[in-house]
């Protein structure tokens, strides 16, 4: 399978950030783009070890535009586009994992459900479900099944700690890779 992994944000765009740092002397200076990249690099390794071909939209702290990300996936062409993100909320109690797809009948719906179930199980996280988000550019403009995974909230004190833990990052990457492998095997049967 040919998979594009898109670590969300990057470079001048940090994405969600932990705003509690100054308020409570938080241990972490969390930037979503850093967490996204760490999980994505681990996911790349997991998927390559399973024999998949991988292209990354970025492998360092740079910012490819949304158009660049989609263009890479469409020109390769990829079989699947996976964008890795972390969530944030002004409600510090908000937590959990969710997987976003273009529409409920999207070709990515099956793999999204499998990934969501595996991630919730691996992380012991609140299940925020698989949700249709037709306005998200990378889900709307890619020519292949595409999904965006919100791996947890950087604004929730417990999830922030987990998102900064390399073991947790590895568990998330492994769960995503297993679900993709399961969906790919099912599609080939």
Tokens describing residue 162: 């987990």
pLDDT in tens, 99-147: 999 999 999 999 999 999 999 999 999 999 999 999 999 999 999 999 9
Alpha-helical (H) ranges within the chain are 21-24, 32-49, 66-75, 109-123, 137-141, 157-163, 166-188
55 vs 158: CA distance, rounded Å: 32
- Residue 4: pLDDT over 60: yes
Q: Output the pTM of the full model.
A: 0.94
Is residue 148 packed enough to be buried (19+ CB in 10 Å), middle (13-18) or exposed (0-12)? buried
Domains identified in the chain and CATH numbers = 2-188 (3.40.630.40)
Tokens at 106, concatenated: 């999207």
User: Which residues does 80 contact at the CB level (< 8 Å), separation at least 6?
Assistant: 1, 2, 3, 4, 108, 111, 144, 145, 146, 147, 180
Mean pLDDT calculated for residue range 78-85: 98
As given in the structure block, the two tokens for residue 160 are 């922030």
């Amino acid at each position: 399978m040919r998979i594009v992994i898109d670590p969300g944000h990057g470079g001048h765009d940090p994405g969600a950030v932990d705003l509690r740092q100054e308020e409570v002397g938080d241990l972490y200076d969390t930037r979503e783009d850093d967490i996204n990249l760490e999980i994505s690099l681990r996911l790349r390794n997991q998927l390559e070890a399973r024999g998949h071909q991988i292209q990354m939209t970025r492998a360092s702290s740079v910012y490819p535009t949304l158009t660049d990300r989609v263009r890479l996936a469409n020109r390769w062409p990829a079989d699947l586009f996976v964008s890795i993100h972390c969530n944030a909320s002004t409600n510090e109690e908000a937590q959990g994992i969710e997987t976003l797809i273009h529409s409920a009948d999207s070709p990515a719906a099956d793999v999204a459900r499998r990934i969501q179930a595996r991630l919730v199980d691996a992380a012991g996280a609140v299940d925020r479900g698989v949700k249709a988000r037709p306005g998200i550019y990378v889900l709307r403009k890619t020519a292949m099944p595409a999904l965006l995974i919100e791996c947890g909230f950087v604004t929730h004190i417990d999830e922030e700690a987990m998102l900064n833990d390399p073991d947790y990052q590895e568990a998330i990457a492994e769960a995503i890779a297993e679900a993709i492998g399961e969906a790919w095997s099912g599609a080939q049967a």
